[in-house]
Amino acid sequence: MQRALQIALTLSLIGVFSLALLAQFYEPKQIPIANLVNHKEDIVIIQGEVVKVTQKPTVNFFEIKDSTGTITVVTFDKMDKLDKRLLISVKGKVTTYKGKLELIADRMEII
């Protein structure tokens, strides 16, 4: 059993570290907003213009618009004031809230 423990620990460490490495280089696909409906629970990237901003102490909401549609982006990270009309790229998870699609942002960059 001691040998089985060593093998299991080695496999666990290799598995977790290589997955962490993979996650570093893993870049999800960029998806047009209208197609996000087919990507529920997926991690995706969207690009578009900020058309509405609601910033609260614990949560921020942005409406992002591209040529195909609009979606609400939610982030719980504290951030500086974001202006409308900025072009941004957002990486995050597509979820549903009260029947509407939302993107829970993991990373946002001004482009």
Partner 1 sequence: MIDIFLAILIGMLFGTLTGLIPGLHTNTVALIVASMSALLLSWFSPLAVASFLVAMVVVHSFMDFIPSIFLGAPEDATALGVLPGHLLLLKGRGYRALKLTIIGGIGTFLISLVIIPFVFLWLEKSYAIISQLIAPILIAFSTLFILQENKLKKIIWATIIFLLAGTLGLLTLNYVSLKQPLFPLLSGLFGTSTLIISLLNKQKIPAQKTDDKIAWLTKSRLSDYAKAALSSLFVSILPAVGAAQAAVISRAFTKYKNREEFLVVIGGINTAVALFTLTTLFLIGKTRTGVMAVLANIIELNLHQYLFLLAVCFVAMAFGVFFSLRIGKWTAENITRINYRKLSLGIITFLSILAIWFSGLLGLYILITATAIGMLAPLANVKRIHLMACLVIPVVLYYI
Q: By the criterion CB under 8 A, which residues form the site for partner 1? A: 1, 4-5, 7-9, 11-13, 15-16, 19-20, 22-23, 26, 28, 41-44, 93, 96, 98-99, 106
CB atoms within 10 A of CB 73: 20
Closer Cβ to partner 1, 39 or 65, answer by number: 39
Sole residue written with tokens 């951030």: 79
9, 37, 91 from 75: Cα distances, Å: 36, 20, 11
Q: What is the nearest approach in angstroms of partner 1 to the Cβ of residue 4?
A: 6
Q: Is 98 exposed, middle or buried (0-12, 13-18, 19+ CB in 10 A)?
A: exposed
Rounded to whole angstroms, the Cα distance separating 78 from 55 reads 9
Q: Between 38 and 67, name the residue whose CB sits nearer to partner 1.
A: 38
What's the min distance (Å) between Cβ of 13 and partner 1? 8
| End-to-end Cα, the chain, rounded Å | 55
- Closest distance to partner 1 from the beta carbon of 15 (Å): 3
**Min CB(7)–partner 1 separation in Å:** 8
- Which residue, 13 or 79, has its beta carbon nearer to partner 1? 13
**Contact 28/45 with Cβ under 8 angstroms?**
yes
Q: Which is nearer to partner 1, 36 or 50 (CB)?
A: 36
